[in-house]
Amino acid sequence: MKSKKHKRKTNRVVIVASDAADAGVRHLRLSHWVFQILKLVFYVAVGYVIGRIFYEVQYKAEVWDIANQKIEEIQVAAEELQEKLSAAEAEKVNMQSEVIALNSKIDLLSDTVNQKTEEVNALEEKIRQQSIPSFFPMTGSASIEEITEGEPTCILNGTAETVVVATATGVVTEVGEDTDYGGRVVLDHGNGYVTIYRNRGKCLVRVGDTVAQGGALYYISSENTKLGYQVQQDGVFINPMQLFDISG
């Protein structure tokens, strides 16, 4: 028969010593099972620490990945924003160029408008002046015989082949006979002035005609050299000599 072998119990002794001079040495005897438990706890603690370190490393790696991704997104957004900013700056420059061009056009148009306004004002003034009976009523050489009183009449004596003309621009309102001169033409100048031309020659205008200053009314021949000329202002006869431009 085989003899039974008994397992030998193994004990662990932990020696705890202090570096103090008067300190003693303590022996801590641990049983096999207690030692195994402590070893297990140690392994678990080491595993926990290693796992914790691994987790921290992995977590930080994930955090860095997320941070890098966010940084890339921010960089992309910054680049897009920079492109938009550059486009806006270019658009601003274009708009400034357009504004400068428009201002130049406005200045040019303003100068043109001012020039046209001056021309219109000059033309209006010219028309106004032409509507004032200041023109001499005969072309060529003519002499003033007299100016009658009452309803002042300027009697002029012209020479053959001269013309009786309108002293201002106006509309013919009357063409008829005259007891003293044979014929009569009346022009309304639209500004309160009315001029009357008395001559025995053949009248060259009709009622309703617009006659410019200097326009022909009668042709002077040897039979109708005399002209009676009158001016009314606002319905009142005035001396025609007050308006004549003698240099004309």
Instruction: Give the SS3 label for residue 231.
Output: strand
Phi, psi of 172 (to 5 degrees): -70, 120
Determine the pLDDT at residue 23: 59
The predicted model scores a pTM of 0.57
Is 51 inside any structural domain?
no
Spans of the chain, pLDDT less than 50: 246-248
- Total count of domains within the chain: 1
Is 221 inside any structural domain?
yes
Is 16 inside any structural domain?
no
Is 71 inside any structural domain?
no
Is 20 inside any structural domain?
no
CATH code assigned at 205: 2.70.70.10
Determine the pLDDT at residue 124: 84
Per-residue model confidence as pLDDT tens digits over 49-63: 888 888 888 888 888
Per-residue model confidence as pLDDT tens digits over 216-236: 999 999 889 999 999 999 999
Domain that holds residue 218: 142-242
